């Protein structure tokens, strides 16, 4: 499915979860014909994310809304600013309010944390990747927030890349066997699907070099120290294959040490904390009366 198709599904399910058999607070107090305006107020500094999502949520309920943006996704935001104004049925505004806020607060927190990482890496070629350590059924917007914050999306799910992790390798009987079987599977079932292999030692890297050329596109260096990453990259360089494999450092990387990893020259660092450690930012949707 496309991004828009996945977003539509997310919106439908989220509103169904929230509204159930009716928004009885609104139904009991507000005339169905009432029209109104509301403004999104920014109450915390950070990176704004979710503007386009917010508009799509309102338009799902009422295609004819008037949505006036004052800022864009990725903009810096400070306390007291306004992000957008929406004019619609009051029922639409009230029924969409919590979903809009939940999405934008969460997305803005992720985008803000991601920007802190990308700022640390601005003088290096290394780029930051997200992971699959996401909230069930909300991955679409969490990964979009990483992108808005300047990060790079890793695979979205189990279907768009083969990643041979430690358990795959152990269950299969070794790196060489796992690579050969995965490569044969790609040719037979889904040509073009990329293969990444997790390594746990420099010796594992050596084994990927000699068994994975032309098959593996990225080597994950899992829980390697910066010194061990430097050793692994030197091995790739000496074998003349440094540019045949992308490299990804993973495990224990945070804001306090990400620059040390970048100094090694590794292509990517993957950071699960971009999503699972991000804190939602403070936004509010207020009626204009």
pLDDT value of position 241: 96
Q: What is the pLDDT of residues 200-256, one digit of tens each?
A: 999 999 999 999 999 999 999 999 999 999 999 999 999 999 999 999 999 999 999
Where in the chain are the domains? 3-111+279-288, 161-271
56 is catalytic: no
The CA-atom distances, in angstroms, between 98 and each of 50, 52, 275 are 13, 16, 20
82 is catalytic: no
Catalytic position from the list 17, 119, 123, 165: 165
169 bridge partner residues = none
Supply the mean pLDDT for the chain.
Answer: 97
Taking domain 3-111+279-288, whether its CATH number is 3.40.50.300 is answered by no
The CA-atom distances, in angstroms, between 195 and each of 73, 180, 182, 212, 266 are 32, 11, 8, 9, 18
CATH C-level class of 161-271: alpha beta
Catalytic position from the list 43, 132, 133, 200: 133
* pLDDT at residue 175 tops 90: yes
Q: Which residues contact 70 (CB under 8 A, 6 or more apart)?
A: 81, 82, 83, 84, 85
Catalytic position from the list 198, 204, 218, 248: 198
Helices 90-120 and 3-19, interaxial angle, to 10°?
130
pLDDT value of position 237: 97
Query: What is the rounded CA–CA span in Å between residue 226 and residue 10?
Result: 40
Catalytic position from the list 130, 144, 204, 222: 222
pLDDT, average across residues 139-152: 98
Report the predicted TM-score, pTM, of the whole model to 2 decimal places: 0.95
198 is catalytic: yes
Q: What is the pLDDT of residues 42-89, one digit of tens each?
A: 999 999 999 999 999 999 999 999 999 999 999 999 999 999 999 999
Band (pLDDT 50/70/90 cuts) for residue 119 is very high
98 is catalytic: yes
pLDDT value of position 1: 82
Catalytic position from the list 35, 98, 177, 213: 98
């Amino acid at each position: 499915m496309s991004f828009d198709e996945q977003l539509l599904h997310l919106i439908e399910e989220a509103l169904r979860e929230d509204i159930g058999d009716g928004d009885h607070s609104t139904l009991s107090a507000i005339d169905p014909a009432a029209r109104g305006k509301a403004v999104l107020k920014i109450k915390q500094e950070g990176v704004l994310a979710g503007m386009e999502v917010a508009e799509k949520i309102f338009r799902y309920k009422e295609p004819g809304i008037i949505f006036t943006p004052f800022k864009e996704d990725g903009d810096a935001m400070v306390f007291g600013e306004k992000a957008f104004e929406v004019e619609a049925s009051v029922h639409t505004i009230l029924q969409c309010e919590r979903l809009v806020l939940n999405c934008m607060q969460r997305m803005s927190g992720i985008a803000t944390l991601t920007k802190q990482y990308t700022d640390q890496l601005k003088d290096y070629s290394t780029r930051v990747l997200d992971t699959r350590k996401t909230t069930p059924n909300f991955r679409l917007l969490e990964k979009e927030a990483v992108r808005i914050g300047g990060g790079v999306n890793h695979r979205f799910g189990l279907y768009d890349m083969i990643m041979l992790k430690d358990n795959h390798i152990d269950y299969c009987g070794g790196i060489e066997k796992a690579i050969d079987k995965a490569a044969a599977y790609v040719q037979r079932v889904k040509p073009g699907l990329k293969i990444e292999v997790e390594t746990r030692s420099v010796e594992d890297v050596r084994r990927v070099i000699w068994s994975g050329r032309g098959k593996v596109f990225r080597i994950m260096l899992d829980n390697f120290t910066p010194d061990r990453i430097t050793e692994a990259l030197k091995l790739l360089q000496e074998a003349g294959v440094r540019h045949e494999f992308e490299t990804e450092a993973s495990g224990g990387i945070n804001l306090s040490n990400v620059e040390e990893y970048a100094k090694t020259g590794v292509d990517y660092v993957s950071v699960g904390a971009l999503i699972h450690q991000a804190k939602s930012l403070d936004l509010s949707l207020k009626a204009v009366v």
